Amino acid sequence: MTLAAPLPGARRRARGSTRTTMLRSAADLLRERGAAGVTIDAVLARSGSPRGSVYHHFPEGRSQLLREALEFAGNQITEAIEQAAGGDGTALLRQFTAMWREALLSSDYTAGSPVLAAAVGSGQDEQQLTSVAADIFRRWRDASIDAFVREGFDRAGATALAHTTISALEGAVVLCRSTRSLEPLDDVARQMEFLIKARQFVSHSKASAETSSDVSAGGSAS
């Protein structure tokens, strides 16, 4: 009896599954060890894939695998941010915080930000990833700006809050990993919410004062 050959679609799914598994494994290594820790041997050991699959799925070798692993990891986070950005900036902050809490706890504080690791490294590996990291950060920033604009901030204020939120949370994750505690992340999240509310209060107070001034000026003129 001969075995039936798999359907073409099944072959594509199998290839895609192996490729995705390798990318996910490489992305996990990038989160845990930085770019230097993403070696072919480490990815194969983590994913359980055969060695021949590397050059089948990534003909450019390690450099392609590393680049696409960063894109894979960055896109996962970006999709979550863009979905949360359908609400306001405060909701986005809470979603981003919850995402990092889960990542830190589920990895026993070994998972950091793959994008930050790629952006600040000075080795040859990180240098080739700088533009990819910059593009991912831009997408996070743009989604955050849109969310803060929906919350009532002008474009300049929304941009400042987006930069501050991303920078503060990325830094908090580094502290959480080094201290093996969620306290830095929780503190930063609370302070960011306070800052957002304070900025809203100042903005509303300024608008109210300007309105009162206009009314007073109109009354005086009459």
**Is residue 146 pLDDT above 70, yes or no?**
yes
Query: Which is higher by pLDDT, 210 or 197?
Result: 197
**Positive or negative: CA dihedral 52, 57, 59, 65:** negative
| In a domain? residue 158 | yes
Confirm whether 4 is domain-assigned. Answer: no
Q: Is the pLDDT assigned to residue 9 strictly greater than 50?
A: no
- Tell me the average pLDDT of the chain: 83
The CATH number linked to 147 is: 1.10.357.10
Among 47, 50, 56, 49, CA closest to 29: 47
* Cβ-based neighbour number of residue 179 at 10 Å: 11
The pLDDT > 70 percentage for the chain reads 81
Could you tell me the pTM of the whole model? 0.76
Domain total in the chain: 1
On whether the CB atoms of residues 137 and 71 are closer than 8 A, the answer is: no
Q: Please give the structure tokens belonging to residue 48.
A: 């359980």
Q: Identify the residue with better confidence: 167 or 124.
A: 167
In a domain, 215, yes or no: no
Q: Is residue 63 part of a domain?
A: yes
Is the confidence at residue 216, as pLDDT, over 60?
no
Domain assignment present for 190: yes
Residue 215: C-alpha distances to residues 133, 203, 206, 208 (Å): 50, 19, 14, 11
What would you measure as the largest C-alpha separation in the chain, in angstroms? 101
Whether 1 maps to a domain, the answer reads no
Q: Please indicate, yes or no, if residue 216 is contained in any of the structural domains.
A: no
Residue 81 in domain: yes
Domain range for residue 74? 9-208
pLDDT band at 106 (very low <50, low <70, confident <90, very high): very high
Q: What is the reported pLDDT for 124? A: 67
Side chain identity at residue 112, one-letter code: G
Show the DSSP H helices in the chain as ranges.
8-33, 40-47, 52-57, 62-84, 89-106, 114-120, 124-150, 155-179, 183-221
